[in-house]
Structure 1
């Protein structure tokens, strides 16, 4: 794949789950386990559409729609996170994205992550995969008040690199991530099954 288009950007900003790493199935599986005691299975398509949305916000929706016995959505989100952490060690970087990272690094283009996942999870994945050799900045769900589709997550990464949105590329796989990139004035590159759609 030809990555020359990347040379025009001052920095590259990546979503994490479903963009750099093949982890959405682990997130979905963790939600399935978390709500299994309540007799329903969350819709896979709906869950994938809400990729990039912090777990406590998804929990809030599930509690309301299914009348779940939680007064604090963070409690249900915590159950989901525990199930997710059981498999986090199995998360792998998409091969084509690895090639892209190598190209960007060889041309000294700074790279950061803007994710809706918790900082502890994001740092674990980056620290325990090859991503630690490429990623200089992580902005997580813990670092902003307004999450995707608000652009704040990506704006904070760009700010760390002293780059304007128009000088930056955002790589995303989810609908809310697409919106966040467009809302922030970034150059959006969609990721489909781990492959950038240049």
Structure 2
């Protein structure tokens, strides 16, 4: 493919953050009496925006009371932020090698993440990779989060490229769908969830790591 620009997801793709979110939520939820929060519930919302996630909390955990839900959200947010500031989110294998390759090839890169811009800034900074990206589109920059294609469309626009001339790297189902709907070819590098046949059909390739993406682009 004639690659002219690359769009990166962040959580679970560039950085091993999903396990940190999951562990924090599983630890804190019971403190507020929310006894039905488990790993399978967390998996349902991988790749969604905080706004949509919190809406789901208020609906799904209504029986535990709004005050408890608010307490859970606030404490979990602060716990995750502390982990990020402490540099606990590790880069995924092959991330630096891929970013260095793209820099050498003068292929511009942007981040398109449903996360909060403040968290994106902290994570990229702590990982020492901010300089590799010419811009960031966060969940706060769009009206509709993934799987809506808006965030991917804005990322392609930021690169000043047609969707077909970009490549998106994603780990989540929602991200793959968003890329596909935006007309941007997408490679999936699964994190917590392996692709279903339907998701796989939407991808250009599915690779186990970012090392494989670098090798694929270098061929």
TM range (shorter): 0.7 to 0.9
Match of 2:106 in 1: 108
In structure 2, list runs of 5 or more residues that go unmatched. 192-207, 214-219
In structure 1, list runs of 5 or more residues that go unmatched. none
With over 3 angstroms needed to count, the CA separation of the structure-2 counterparts of 1:152 and 1:34, relative to structure 1, is: farther
Normalising by structure 2, we get a TM-score of 0.79
Instruction: Compare relative contact order (CA 8 Å, sep 6+) and give the higher one, 1 or 2.
Output: 1
CA deviation after TM superposition for structure 1 residue 95, in Å:
2.4
Q: Give the number of equivalent residue pairs.
A: 192
Are 1:20 and 2:34 matched, yes or no? Answer: no
Match of 2:26 in 1: 32
How many Å separate the matches in 2 of 1:130 and 1:49?
30
CA deviation after TM superposition for structure 1 residue 177, in Å:
0.6
Higher mean C-alpha displacement, 111-120 vs 130-139: 130-139
Normalising by structure 1, we get a TM-score of 0.87
Match of 1:87 in 2: 83
Q: Which has the larger radius of gyration?
A: 2
Match of 2:127 in 1: 129
With over 3 angstroms needed to count, the CA separation of the structure-2 counterparts of 1:84 and 1:186, relative to structure 1, is: same
CA deviation after TM superposition for structure 1 residue 38, in Å:
1.5
Pairing partner for 2:61 from 57, 66, 76: 66
